[in-house]
Amino acid sequence: MNTSNKELTKPGQVTDRLLAAESALFTKEYEKNYSAGESKPPNIGMPFFLYSPGSDTGVLLIHGLMAAPEEVKEWAMFLHEKGFTVYAPRLSGHGTSYKDLSTRNYQDWMDSVNRGHAILKSCCKKILVAGFSTGAGLALQSVILKPNDFEAVIAISAPLRFKSFSSRFAETLNGFNQFCIFSGMGNFAKEFIKNDADNPHINYLCCPVSAFVQVKKLMKKVRRSLSDISLPALVIQAKNDPKVAPQSGPAIFKLIGTDKKHFSWIDYNMHGIVRGEIALDVFKEVESFLVAYNLINPEN
């Protein structure tokens, strides 16, 4: 291994500078958008980096809509214990307030992911991308747009379709809201809907209708190009997910182009499956996939 490659496996000034910039950005946006009784403690939203000095492989780990990096902390710890360097970015508009989220779009979230990729690229030779819920959609979009930058993709509970009947009318309601605001009739707008949060200490308790629309736009774009994915791919879906239609998982799996793919059902009746006891079943599936495609040392 030459000197330049050795340098790539150690966090240095570039990594430190990029990490500091993300922390500073969160602090700035948290202070600007803080809302008493709504915003969570800053440690929930702060992006985090777990370095593994014995490995040249990193995992870009992406949280879901209305959540924050804390949502994937248990998953990150599991991967770190298996020898990976892990970076969990904070998606734009998250970890602050739901009103902040209402001003963002899915390209803003992709920008957050891309900055996270740059951090891992500064200290890792190989990178996997993984995500939960909307984070899974962003992970899939990442490998679609930059197939040569990743070794594999893991998508858990990606929202190809939502389960709620009201989700079908999100675009219509969002259009009505925009009309009301533009016409000076903002009091008639219904910009936010109640969120039945799996993790209320992490998740926003209200969802901007506009954010819901942005997720649907993202997944529509993802769906069109799933056949282009040629990397090893793991798709996981809870059988009785009350938020994401359970058929989303099998549909994504079928559409992914690579034959190096694996699908797993998780027998659970909640959307959030990357925290708590049920997460152990998820992590077993993740580990089996990583071992099967030689992405992890089976002795770790």
Give the pLDDT of the chain (300 residues) as one tens digit per residue. 233 333 344 688 999 999 999 999 999 999 999 999 899 999 999 999 999 998 899 999 999 999 999 999 999 999 999 999 999 999 999 999 999 999 999 999 999 999 999 999 999 999 999 999 999 999 999 999 999 999 999 999 999 998 764 566 776 665 655 756 766 765 655 667 788 889 999 999 998 889 989 999 999 999 999 999 999 999 999 999 999 999 999 999 999 999 999 999 999 999 999 999 999 999 999 999 999 999 986 556
Q: Residue for token digits 């990594």?
A: 15
**pLDDT tens-place string over residues 123-139:** 999 999 999 999 999 99
CA 77 to chain centre: 16
* Cα–Cα distance, 44 to 121 (Å, whole number): 25
> Do 92 and 104 contact (CB within 8 A), yes or no?
yes
SS3 content of the chain, % helix, strand, coil (to 5): 50, 15, 40
**pLDDT tens-place string over residues 161-210:** 987 645 667 766 656 557 567 667 656 556 677 888 899 999 999 988 89
* Cα–Cα distance, 122 to 252 (Å, whole number): 31
Fold classification of 3-163+218-292 is: Rossmann fold (3.40.50)
* Cα–Cα distance, 128 to 85 (Å, whole number): 10
Interhelix angle for 209-225 vs 106-121, to 10°?
60
Per-residue b/e over 138-163, b at no fewer than 16 CB within 10 Å? Answer: bbbbbbbeeeebbbbbbbbbbbbbbb
* Cα–Cα distance, 26 to 36 (Å, whole number): 17
> Do 210 and 191 contact (CB within 8 A), yes or no?
yes
**pLDDT tens-place string over residues 47-68:** 999 999 988 999 999 999 999 9
CA 97 to chain centre: 18
The bridge status of strand 126-132 relative to strand 57-62 is parallel
How many Cβ atoms sit within 10 Å of the Cβ of residue 77?
13
> Do 45 and 70 contact (CB within 8 A), yes or no?
yes
